Amino acid sequence: MDARLNYFASPTTGQALKHFMSAGKALRDSALPAATQELVSLRVSQINGCAFCIDMHTKEATAAGETAVRLNLVAAWREATVFTEAERAALALAEEGTRVADAATGVSDEVWAHAAKHYDEEQLVALVTLVAFMNAANRMNIITQQPAGNYVAGQFH
């Protein structure tokens, strides 16, 4: 499978992606725990069906020491006992933030309050921005059918 577009071949898109990836770096450097970032990135990508990002975030999380059990259970996190309460709050916020069109009301007060119980304002800003960032990345990759399977951990760092 070949991608419909090569983002890096276009000067306009290459410049835009340079800034987009800078936003990703700022998020990686934020106070939001790295494990939480990878779990949220993976869950958003699973919901959206972005194979490229699922491949990327599974490999990044593995390289950072995440266990196969936790990665395999992200899709069913509600029934899994391997996630902390803080991670569960982040995953709930990520799901509702990704499914805004389905929920019609956006992120519920209950989900927001649960996240705010576990994360300070700086971490919440990073979490909300990460959810939006991942949704944008997923859409770009899905629209252009970016192939999955060949990502190498650290490739975009």
Query: What local confidence, expressed as pLDDT, does residue 91 receive?
Result: 98
CA distances from 70 to 97, 119, 125, 133 (A): 22, 21, 25, 23
Q: Please, what are the domains in the chain? A: 32-143 (1.20.1290.10)
Length of the chain: 157
119 torsion bin: left (phi>0), alpha (psi -120 to 50), beta (else): beta
Blockwise average pLDDT, block size 10, the chain, 157 residues: 77 83 90 96 97 96 95 98 98 95 84 98 97 96 90 82
Provide the angle, in degrees to the nearest 10, between the axes of the packed helices 34-48 and 51-63. 160
Largest pairwise CA distance in the chain:
47
Query: What local confidence, expressed as pLDDT, does residue 19 receive?
Result: 85
Q: Are 45 and 68 in contact (CB under 8 A)?
A: no
What is this structure's pTM?
Answer: 0.91
Residue 107, amino acid: V
